[in-house]
A and B are shown apart, each in its own frame.
Chain A
Amino acid sequence: MQSTDLYIRPDLGQGARRLPLQALLLAAGLVALAAAPFLLYPVFVMKLLCFALFASAFNLLLGYVGLLSFGHAAFFGGAAYVTAHSVKVWGIDPVAGIALGTLAAAVMGAAMGAIAIRRQGIYFAMTTLALSQMIYFLFLRAPFTNAEDGIQNVPRGHAFGLIDLSQTLNMYGLVVAVFLVGMFAIWRVINSPYGQVLKALRENETRAVSLGYRADRYKLGAFVFSAAIAGLAGATKALVFQIATLTDVAWQMSGEVILMSLLGGVGTLAGPSVGAGLIVTIQNYFATTGFPVNVVLGLLFILCVLCFRSGIVGELAKRARR
């Protein structure tokens, strides 16, 4: 089937056959998560997991609702600021800090979504980009963000007052837990009746509306949820790196998360994580060479759009189905 859309249509009726494979992959993934901190640099793996969750949250919107948000950095970075500030200045529990950051992202998502969903397609993308730029300037000016310096030296503290997060493995455990909770929530939403309605909106909004679904409410709900999960990822990243800066709210970050989804496979559950892994690795590699990584990311964008629009996981899934 020649599809010109941004997402791969679900292959109904084949789920049963693929289930053992999925279970196998899931098990392999869990084993890899358990082994990773001993094989790789743990902070790198934690960064990767945060971005994987961020990209998955973004993908929920693009892949399952068909909305391209160019402003997701606002939620990622905004939550990072809130968590960093609440943990460092107010001295609250790091887990509560993450929850607060997530909540803040959801609130921002509600405000931004309420305005942005009034336009569709290309205008939606431009509107979210403009609104996130506004949020960027607000954070640049806000008294608690320290402008260019950001919030530095955020203490990781003790989770629930007990677990010392300055121990790398403890922090790693928390990040894995956050990642799994986030991914499970996304998976649960996609496979719920609510998720089915979202897909119906993506496929044919007019028809879904004529069937009595209030498109705007469903879209706003998905937007807020996606923003919250993006915030969860950003809040966790703030604790991992103990810093929240303008980089996380800048539009470049919104572009990166789009590329992660696109590269891995829009509309696939695992794709964004694969894409995030690749991009984070590439960024780490080029950070040492002095060659601007943006050129590489730009070329990847061009390559993805022109040559493989289904992304890595999408292409693999297509091959497996043949």
Chain B
Amino acid sequence: MTELFGIPMPVLSGQILLGLFNGAFYALLSLGLAVIFGLLRVINFAHGALYMMGAFIAFLLGQWLGLPFWALLVVAPVLVGVFAVAMEKLLLRHVYGLDPLYGLLLTFGVALVIEGMAQYMFGVAGKPFSQPQALSGVSMIGGMILPHYRVFVIVVALITCLGTWALIERTRLGAFLRAATENRPLVEAFGVNVPVLLTATYAFGALLAGFAGVMGAPVFQVSAFMGSNLIIIVFAVVVIGGMGSIGGAIASGFLLGLCEGLTKVVYPEAANIVVFAIMAVVLFFRPSGLFGKAA
């Protein structure tokens, strides 16, 4: 079969792959947002900026030290995580307990500063970042074109998401985390150091964003504003999925990436807005989101 609904199979499969590829980024970022929001009650507007930061750190380390991609994939997110620790301790800590809107505004301010400084130091032009040699090839399977790097990103993102899900839902540390989300004073009374847990959670969320940034660097150009448009789509994903569940964040990330990819095949003009349109429809019929509990 070479056609489905009048659309050539290679085009369709290519867009499905591309959709899942974009969905991998949505999933990684919305997962980080959900983890952070779950415990800190802060919507991390700086998430897009941290994503950009991961890409930039990878770019710079690659240039200066000539580190291979595999090393960058570890080092850059860790550095973003370190930055996030400082950010949490210096700034975010002061807005816990206030109206959650303050957290949004604070992190929005941080995002403006990070992106503005990146623009100031590196200009607005995108920086090229080459794919790792080992993954630059392309395979053909039954008429489907599979660029290795894209498949790699989808698989790695899926593993990371599932790992995070397992960490939170299936381990003792995750149990503390969930308990602290439900009833913080009680968990503190049991001797768990909640402030450290908060810092670690924020750093972990940021690390995920930085990780996504490094993976995005070879495909999307590394530029100061690469994260700012992405984060708005991710917000829509989060609204659709509801932030109540980790699994919901992951599933809706991939799902919406897929929807976007398919829209590109059927009606390319609407590809930019399809996620927002789905959000509007979902809000209309299920105000608490697809996977959310009633707020």
Instruction: Please list the residues of chain A having a beta carbon within 8 angstroms of any beta carbon in chain B.
Output: 4-6, 68, 115-116, 118-123, 125-127, 129-131, 133-134, 137-138, 140-141, 251, 255, 258, 262, 291-295, 297-302, 304-306, 309
Q: Which single member of B100, B102, B111, B277 contacts A134 (CB below 8 Å)? A: B277
Contact A4 B99 (CB under 8 A): yes
Q: How far does the alpha carbon of A30 sit from the alpha carbon of B81 in the complex, in Å? A: 52
Known A119-B239, A255-B112, A300-B109; 14 more pairs at CB < 8 Å: A115-B284, A118-B284, A120-B295, A130-B236, A130-B279, A137-B273, A251-B228, A291-B120, A294-B113, A294-B119, A298-B108, A298-B113, A301-B109, A302-B110
Q: Mark B276-292, 1 if CB is under 8 A from A, else 0.
A: 11011001100100000
Looking at the assembled complex, report how far the CB atom of B128 sits from the nearest CB atom of chain A, in whole angstroms. 23
Decide if A306 touches B91 in the complex (CB within 8 Å).
yes
Contact, CB under 8 Å: A122 / B43: yes
Listed A/B pairs (11) with beta-carbon separation below 8 Å: A121-B99, A121-B101, A129-B235, A133-B233, A291-B120, A292-B120, A293-B116, A294-B113, A299-B113, A301-B108, A305-B109
A127, A304, A305, A306 pick with most chain B CB within 10 angstroms: A305
- Contact code string B251-290 (vs A, CB < 8 Å = 1, else 0): 0000000000000000001001101110110011001000
A297 and B102 contacting across the interface, CB-CB below 8 Å: no
A130 vs B101: C-alpha distance when bound (angstroms):
16
A306 in contact with B232 (CB, 8 Å): no
Query: Taking the complex as formed, is B98 at the interface, i.e. its CB lies under 8 A from any CB of chain A?
Result: yes
B residues whose Cβ falls under 8 Å from a Cβ of A? 43, 91, 94-95, 97-102, 104-106, 108-117, 119-120, 228-229, 232-233, 235-236, 238-239, 269, 272-273, 275-277, 279-280, 283-284, 287, 295
Alpha-carbon distance A118/B281, docked complex (angstroms): 12
User: In the complex the two chains form, is B276's CB within 8 Å of A133's CB?
Assistant: yes
A127 in contact with B239 (CB, 8 Å)? yes
> What's the minimum C-beta distance from A25 to chain B, rounded to whole angstroms?
28
Q: Which residue of B lies closest to A296 (CB)?
A: B116
A4 touches B91 (CB 8 A): no
**Are B276 and A121 in contact (CB-based, < 8 A)?**
no
A residues near B43, Cβ cutoff 8 Å: 122, 125-126
Decide: A134 near B276, CB < 8 A? Known: A129-B232, A306-B94: yes
In the complex, are the beta carbons of A6 and B113 less than 8 A apart? no
- CA A309 – CA B126 in complex, angstroms? 37
A255 and B108 in contact (CB under 8 A), knowing A68-B101, A130-B232, A133-B232?
A: yes
Question: Nearest Cβ in chain B — how far from A105, in angstroms?
Answer: 18
- Checking B94, B110, B119 against A292 with a beta-carbon cut-off of 8 angstroms, the contacting residue is B119
Partner of B238 from A126, A141, A255 at Cβ < 8 Å? A126
Chain A residues within 8 Å of B116, by CB? 292-295, 298
The smallest C-beta distance from A205 to any residue of chain B, in angstroms, reads 13
Task: Write out the residue numbers on chain B whose beta carbons fall within 8 Å of the beta carbon of A126.
Answer: 43, 235-236, 238-239
